[in-house]
Amino acid sequence: MAVQKGCSPAQLSLAWLLSKGPNIVPIPGTKQLRYLDENAAAAQITLSIEEQQQLESATERLPVVGERYTVEGMKGVNA
């Protein structure tokens, strides 16, 4: 889909997260300025409802693995 949209897979991922609504704020990390620019450009990518549904369907099949935080990090959650 990224190739069809003329963007990188990272941009497609960010665009998909941004399409989920104003209460979802992706926080991409980067060590290079060129990737910062690439990430910012994802805000200009528009996904149709069908494309959003395709991405949602594809990710639903992926297993969720591991904990969100380390044991130490969990001590600060809902404390």
For the cut 80, the answer to whether the pLDDT of residue 63 exceeds it is yes
pLDDT of residue 39: 95
The phi, psi pair for 22, rounded to 5°, reads -70, -15
CA distances from 61 to 1, 26, 28, 45 (A): 17, 21, 23, 24
The model's pTM: 0.78
pLDDT of residue 66: 86
pLDDT average, residue stretch 39-61: 95
